[in-house]
């Protein structure tokens, strides 16, 4: 059976008549390993990426501590520090931020567009297992002294192949997500009426589809070169510098596109009003996606001067506008609506604020006169954008807890987590930005010094707060693992279709055929009619 086929357990779910009762679902391990159900796959992505996330945060804390006194403190030995650093950068994006977003999107997007299943469920399953295998091999490659700067040729080859597998799996997931939004929307739900989170996932998926294959091609090229003993695309340590474009702006912005959709959806629901004008929100999210197109840097090296081009400055400055637009629309919601203090809203506000910090710093860094290229300034920008994405994803798991899990998350701990993450993120990002502006702290040298030594203390505190925030978020999510009784379908007075589905949703998501959708907020219409 090909990956484009519908797996047996979701064959009814994917067919046009969603009311057909599916045959018995496999349970236990078989239900997990062989599942094509988007909710199971989404949960798998979320849980595994959060587990990787704990390791990534611990590693980040290690670098922060090393930066306190690089000459005397030796958290990482001089031989391995560069490998740990590259692992930290790669894992932050490809083992934590992207799969976490994809996991949430896998569960929520089909529900939001009224679809009984993801498009190509078997391909979606292949994307998870491919990603997991690739992630495992990536870690194994470092364990065998591979990765950029590694001493084992085989280990370096394995690192390139493993990263290519991870990237390929993410591209496959993007195909599944984008096709779901394009082709599986319920009748009446035109694209302009699509919920803003689903819209943002569509924009992000398209951007991943047009940029990550370029990275995939580059990795294939590197593999062929390295496998045949060449050094045309970097010897061991040089490999990483060819991949830097993926981890810096504008490309890194593609990781955070769903932040805007999440914030717009959650804040509108929390304020009990419609986001207006809606086309402005959709336009802002689309524009943020477009400015994130960074794969034209694929041939650039840090010394090529490509990042000093005028287009980079234009993109850097333009990226601030969509985030400000969503911030403005959110402010308007607070003004017009009756706002409730929910954990989801706090996560949304925190993630937008950190994203704004990241893109504003990116705009500043794009000014060639400041000469921040190659310093920890770039690391600060990337950390800001990636942390915004992680905060939004954690918020999304909390907000859609009854759809992702079995019952609501703990609201009081959930309100604390985004505040701790907000403070921690700011403390991690801002010192690196200041150090970079002062021209201190090289980003890719074969040892780690961090930024200005005095400011590195703040980074240590920030990294600890981020770790605490992540732990608090995970603790607040523990209740969703337990089975609940009489869990509300719509605990937040939601506006979009996912709140029509029972909590937790059954295999085909909706128990009755959905009515034709007549507006972007069908559930709000229903409440207003009563």
Partner 1 sequence: MAETAIALPAAPAPARPRVLLVGTALSATAAFMAIVGLVGIYLSARADVVSTGAAWLPEGSNIPLTPANMAIATMLLSAVSMWWAVDAVSRNDRQMAYLALALTMFFGIAVINATSFLYTQMDLAVKTTPGVLIYTITGAHLAMIVVGLVYAAVMTFRTLGGEYQGRDHEGLTAAALFWYVTIAAQAVIWLAIYVTK
Of the residues 33, 73, 299, 511, which one makes contact with partner 1 according to CB under 8 A: 299
| Separation of alpha carbons 345 and 180, rounded Å | 27
Nearer to partner 1, 44 or 174 (CB): 174
**x/- contact string, 255-294, with partner 1 (CB under 8 A)?**
----------------------------------------
Contact 434, 364 (CB under 8 A): no
Go through 398-409 and write b for each residue having 16 or more CB atoms within 10 A of its CB, e for each that does not. bbbbbbbbbbbb
Q: How far is the CB of 14 from partner 1 (least distance, A)?
A: 9
CB atoms within 10 A of CB 242: 20
497 touches partner 1 (CB under 8 A): no
221 touches partner 1 (CB under 8 A): yes
295 touches partner 1 (CB under 8 A): yes
For tokens 């009426």, what's the residue? 193
Of the residues 85, 120, 288, 307, which one makes contact with partner 1 according to CB under 8 A: 120
Q: How far is the CB of 246 from partner 1 (least distance, A)?
A: 12
Number of chain residues interacting with partner 1 (CB under 8 A): 40
* DSSP states of 21-70: PPPPPP-HHHHHHT---HHHHHHHHHHHHHHHHHHHHHHHHHHHHHTTST
- Rounded to the nearest angstrom, the gap between the alpha carbon of residue 11 and the centroid of all alpha carbons in its chain is 29
Nearer to partner 1, 10 or 342 (CB): 10
Of the residues 1, 27, 228, 482, which one makes contact with partner 1 according to CB under 8 A: 228
Q: How far is the CB of 294 from partner 1 (least distance, A)?
A: 12
Q: How far is the CB of 26 from partner 1 (least distance, A)?
A: 24
Q: How far is the CB of 279 from partner 1 (least distance, A)?
A: 23
**x/- contact string, 121-140, with partner 1 (CB under 8 A)?**
--x-----------------
- Of the listed pieces 144-152, 169-177, 244-252, 371-379, which binds partner 1 according to CB under 8 A? 169-177
Q: How far is the CB of 170 from partner 1 (least distance, A)?
A: 11
Of the residues 45, 82, 233, 510, which one makes contact with partner 1 according to CB under 8 A: 233
- Of the listed pieces 17-25, 55-63, 176-184, 271-279, which binds partner 1 according to CB under 8 A? 176-184
Q: How far is the CB of 150 from partner 1 (least distance, A)?
A: 20
Helix (H), strand (E) counts: the chain: 20, 0
Of the residues 162, 175, 396, 487, which one makes contact with partner 1 according to CB under 8 A: 175
Question: Residues for the chain: how many in total?
Answer: 530
211 touches partner 1 (CB under 8 A): yes
Nearer to partner 1, 184 or 194 (CB): 184
- CB within 8 Å of 142: residues ≥ 6 apart: 83, 87, 150, 155, 159
Select from 98, 99, 66 the least CA-distant residue to 82.
66
Nearer to partner 1, 165 or 178 (CB): 178
Cis peptide before 98 (omega within 30 of 0): no
171 touches partner 1 (CB under 8 A): yes
Nearer to partner 1, 177 or 291 (CB): 177
Of the residues 1, 2, 310, 512, which one makes contact with partner 1 according to CB under 8 A: 2
Nearer to partner 1, 211 or 503 (CB): 211
- Of the listed pieces 81-89, 214-222, 370-378, 489-497, which binds partner 1 according to CB under 8 A? 214-222
- End-to-end CA distance of the chain: give it in Å, rounded: 49
111 touches partner 1 (CB under 8 A): no
Of the residues 140, 298, 321, 438, which one makes contact with partner 1 according to CB under 8 A: 298
For tokens 């031989």, what's the residue? 79
Residue 460 sits at the vertex; the CA angle it makes with 455 and 466, to the nearest 5 degrees, is: 125
Nearer to partner 1, 82 or 120 (CB): 120
| Separation of alpha carbons 238 and 233, rounded Å | 7
* DSSP states of 287-337: HHHHHT--GGGTT--TTS-GGGSHHHHHHHHHTHHHHHHHHHHHHHHHHHS
Provide the 3-class DSSP secondary structure of residue 530: coil
Nearer to partner 1, 160 or 263 (CB): 160
Q: How far is the CB of 58 from partner 1 (least distance, A)?
A: 34
Residues of the chain by 3-state class (helix, strand, coil), percent to 5: 70, 0, 30
Q: How far is the CB of 149 from partner 1 (least distance, A)?
A: 21
Q: How far is the CB of 270 from partner 1 (least distance, A)?
A: 32
Compute CA distances 433 → 198, 294, 369, whole Å. 33, 21, 15
119 touches partner 1 (CB under 8 A): yes
| Separation of alpha carbons 417 and 476, rounded Å | 8
Contact 123, 176 (CB under 8 A): yes
3-state secondary structure 182-232: HHCCCCCCCHHHCCHHHHHHHHHHHHHHHHHHHHHHHHHHHHHHHHCCCCC
**x/- contact string, 178-197, with partner 1 (CB under 8 A)?**
xx--xxx--x----------
Of the residues 68, 209, 318, 324, which one makes contact with partner 1 according to CB under 8 A: 209
Site of interaction with partner 1 (CB under 8 A)? 2, 4, 16, 119-120, 123, 171, 174-176, 178-179, 182-184, 187, 206, 209-218, 220-221, 224-225, 228-230, 232-233, 295-296, 298-299
């Amino acid at each position: 059976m090909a990956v484009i086929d519908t797996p047996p357990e979701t064959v009814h779910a994917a067919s046009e008549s969603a009311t057909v009762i599916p045959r018995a679902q496999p349970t236990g391990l078989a239900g997990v390993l062989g599942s094509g159900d988007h909710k199971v796959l989404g949960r798998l992505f979320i849980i595994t990426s959060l587990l990787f996330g704990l390791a990534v945060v611990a590693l980040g804390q290690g670098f922060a501590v090393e930066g306190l006194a690089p000459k005397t403190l030796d958290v990482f030995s001089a031989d391995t520090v560069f490998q740990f650093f590259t692992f930290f950068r790669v894992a932050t994006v490809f083992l934590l931020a992207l799969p976490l977003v994809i996991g949430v999107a896998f569960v929520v997007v089909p529900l939001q567009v009224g679809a009984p299943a993801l498009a190509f469920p078997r391909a979606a399953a292949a994307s998870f297992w491919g990603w997991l295998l690739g992630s495992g091999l990536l870690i194994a490659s470092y364990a065998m002294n591979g990765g950029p700067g590694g001493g084992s040729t085989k280990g370096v080859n394995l690192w390139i192949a493993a990263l290519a597998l991870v990237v390929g799996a993410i591209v496959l997931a993007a195909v599944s997500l984008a096709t779901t939004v394009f082709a599986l929307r319920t009748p009446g739900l035109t694209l302009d009426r699509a919920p803003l989170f689903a819209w943002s996932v569509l924009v992000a998926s398209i951007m991943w589809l047009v940029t990550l294959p370029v990275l995939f091609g580059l990795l294939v090229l590197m593999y062929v070169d390295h496998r045949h003993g060449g050094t045309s695309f970097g010897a061991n340590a040089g490999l990483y510098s060819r991949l830097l474009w993926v981890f810096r702006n504008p490309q890194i912005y593609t990781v955070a596109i769903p932040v805007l959709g999440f914030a717009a959806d959650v804040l509108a629901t929390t304020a009990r009003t419609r986001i207006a004008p809606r086309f402005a929100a959709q336009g802002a999210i689309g524009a943020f996606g477009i400015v994130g197109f960074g794969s034209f840097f694929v041939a650039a090296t840090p010394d090529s001067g490509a990042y000093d081009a005028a287009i980079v400055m234009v993109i850097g400055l333009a990226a601030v506008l969509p985030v400000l637009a969503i911030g403005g629309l959110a402010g308007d919601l607070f003004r017009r609506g009756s706002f409730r203090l929910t954990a989801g809203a706090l996560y949304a506000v925190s993630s937008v604020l950190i994203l704004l910090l990241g893109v504003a710093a990116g705009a500043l860094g794009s000014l060639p006169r400041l000469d921040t290229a190659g310093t920890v300034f770039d690391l600060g920008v990337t950390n800001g954008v990636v942390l915004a994405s992680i905060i939004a994803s954690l918020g999304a798991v909390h907000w859609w807890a009854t759809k992702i899990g079995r019952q609501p998350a703990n609201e009081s701990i959930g309100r604390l987590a985004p505040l701790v993450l907000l403070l921690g993120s700011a403390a991690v990002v801002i010192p690196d930005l200041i150090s970079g502006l002062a021209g201190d702290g090289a980003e890719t040298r074969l040892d780690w010094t961090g930024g200005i030594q005095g400011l590195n203390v703040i980074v240590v505190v920030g990294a600890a707060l981020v770790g605490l925030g992540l732990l608090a978020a995970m603790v607040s999510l523990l209740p969703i693992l337990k089975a609940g009784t009489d869990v509300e379908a719509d605990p937040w007075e939601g506006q979009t279709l996912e709140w029509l589905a029972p909590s937790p949703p059954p295999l085909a998501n909706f128990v009755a055929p959905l009515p034709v959708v007549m507006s972007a907020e069908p559930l709000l219409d229903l409440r207003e009619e009563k």
